């Protein structure tokens, strides 16, 4: 059921506050209005577009800083990071990331997102992937948003190894999983 403008804008603000990474397309579908109407509502309410909301959340949540590589070398936008514990990134699949024939994302982009997140979560100046076991569980298409979640499973400072598990999702659906064995130079931590 369509809402009047005032009620729709109130619910829109509430929805975006609770789910800051929701797209204009998803909002248009939810409120049964055009994407243009959603954009106008956001403008009137001074709510930034998705890209700006992602940056804002990332800045707010980035208590730790990536040590192992420059943040702009991480594939996707890092929105949460706790060194040697966990990290989250978001990757928007665009035209340049897909095969032109079928609009399916090239696998190396999904791998790069997960691998660079596994590197970024390491609390060390040097972190390199020594081995990875990966599995693609579903095709990802242009326009989809991939959320990768890295979790440090094991740290062995004696031999300079860290195991990082990364799972990537589109919505709630798992599309990629990987176990990354990482080499780190800092064996004297702690």
Express each pLDDT in 46-98 by its tens digit: 887 877 766 666 555 554 566 766 666 788 888 888 889 999 899 999 999 99
State the residue range of the domain holding 11.
Answer: 5-47
> Which CATH number belongs to the domain containing residue 11 in this structure?
1.10.10.10
In a shared domain, residues 17 and 108:
no
In a shared domain, residues 92 and 35:
no
Residues 71, 58: Cα–Cα separation, whole Å? 11
pTM above threshold 0.75 = no
In a shared domain, residues 86 and 35:
no
Q: Estimate the share of the chain in helix, then strand, then coil, as percent rounded to the nearest 5.
A: 35, 30, 35
Q: How far apart are the first and last CA of the chain?
A: 58
Residues 153, 2: Cα–Cα separation, whole Å? 47
Of 115, 114, 120, 126, give the one whose Cα is nearest residue 189. Answer: 126
Residues 130, 148: Cα–Cα separation, whole Å? 20
């Amino acid at each position: 059921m369509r809402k009047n403008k005032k009620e729709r804008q109130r619910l829109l603000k509430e929805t975006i506050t609770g789910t800051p990474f929701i797209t204009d397309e998803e909002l248009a579908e939810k409120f049964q209005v055009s994407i243009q109407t959603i954009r106008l509502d956001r403008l009137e309410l001074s709510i930034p577009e998705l890209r700006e909301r992602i940056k804002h959340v990332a800045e707010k949540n980035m208590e730790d800083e990536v040590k192992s590589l420059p943040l702009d070398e991480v594939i996707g936008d890092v929105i949460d990071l706790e060194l040697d514990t966990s990290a989250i990134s978001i990757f928007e699949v665009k035209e340049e990331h897909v095969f032109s024939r079928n609009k399916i994302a090239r696998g190396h982009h999904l791998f790069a997102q997960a691998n660079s997140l596994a590197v970024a979560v390491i609390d060390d100046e040097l972190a390199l992937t020594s081995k990875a076991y990966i599995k693609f569980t579903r095709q990802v298409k242009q326009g989809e948003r991939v959320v990768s979640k890295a979790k440090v499973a094991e740290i062995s400072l004696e031999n300079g190894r860290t195991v990082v598990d990364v799972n990537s999702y589109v919505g709630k659906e798992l599309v990629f999983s990987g176990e990354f064995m990482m080499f780190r130079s800092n064996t004297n931590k702690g």
